[in-house]
Amino acid sequence: GSVAADAKPQASTIPGIRKLIAVASGKGGVGKSTVSANLAVALARQGFAVGLLDADIYGPSVPTLLGIEGRAQLEGNRLQPAQVHGIKALSMGMMTDPGKAIIWRGPMASSALVQMVEQCDWGVLDVLVIDMPPGTGDVQLTLAQKLKPDGAIVVSTPQDLALIDARRAVAMFGEVGVEVLGLIENMSGYCCPECGHVSHPFGQGGAEAEAAAIGAPFLGRIPLDIGIRSDSDSGQPGRGVAAHAFLPIALRVAREIG
Binding residues for ATP: 26-33
Q: Which residues are annotated as a binding site?
A: 26-33
Phi, psi of 161 (to 5 degrees): -60, -45
**Among residue numbers 14 through 53, which ones bind ligand ADP (CB under 6 A)?**
25, 28-34
User: Which CB, 191 or 214, lies closer to ligand ADP?
Assistant: 191
CB atoms within 10 A of CB 86: 14
Among 133, 134, 151, 182, the residue binding ligand ADP under the rule CB under 6 A is: 134
Q: How far is the CB of 77 from ligand ADP (least distance, A)?
A: 30
Q: How far is the CB of 17 from ligand ADP (least distance, A)?
A: 22
- Of the listed pieces 9-17, 101-109, 139-147, 220-228, which binds ligand ADP according to CB under 6 A? 220-228
Give the span between the Cα atoms of 183 and 25, in whole angstroms. Answer: 10
Residue placing its CB nearer to ligand ADP in the complex, 31 or 220: 31
Judged by CB, which is closer to ligand ADP: 12, or 25?
A: 25
- Rounded Cα distance, 98 and 144, in Å: 27
User: Per DSSP, what are the bridge partners of residue 73?
Assistant: 80
By CB atoms closer than 10 A (0-12, 13-18, 19+), residue 71 is: middle
Structure-derived torsion over alpha carbons of residues 97, 38, 151, 79, reported in degrees to the nearest 10: 30
- Exactly one of 222, 249, 253, 257 binds ligand ADP (CB under 6 A); that residue is 222
**Shortest separation between residue 240's beta carbon and ligand ADP, angstroms:** 11
Per CB under 6 A, 136 contacts ligand ADP: no
Q: State which residue, 126 or 165, has the beta carbon closest to ligand ADP.
A: 165
CA dihedral of 125, 131, 135, 138, whole degrees rounded to 10: -50
Angle subtended by helix axes 106-118 and 138-147, to nearest 10: 30
The residue among 59 and 217 lying less far from ligand ADP, judged by its C-beta, is 59
Spatial separation of the C-alpha atoms in residues 183 and 68, rounded to whole Å: 28
Segment 179 to 218, residues that bind ligand ADP, using CB under 6 A:
186-187
Site size toward ligand ADP (CB under 6 A) is 18
Closest distance of CB 116 from ligand ADP, Å: 17
Q: Residue 169 and residue 135: Cα distance in Å, rounded?
A: 7
User: Where do contacts with ligand ADP occur on this chain (CB under 6 A)?
Assistant: 25, 28-34, 61, 134, 186-187, 222, 224-225, 228-229, 232
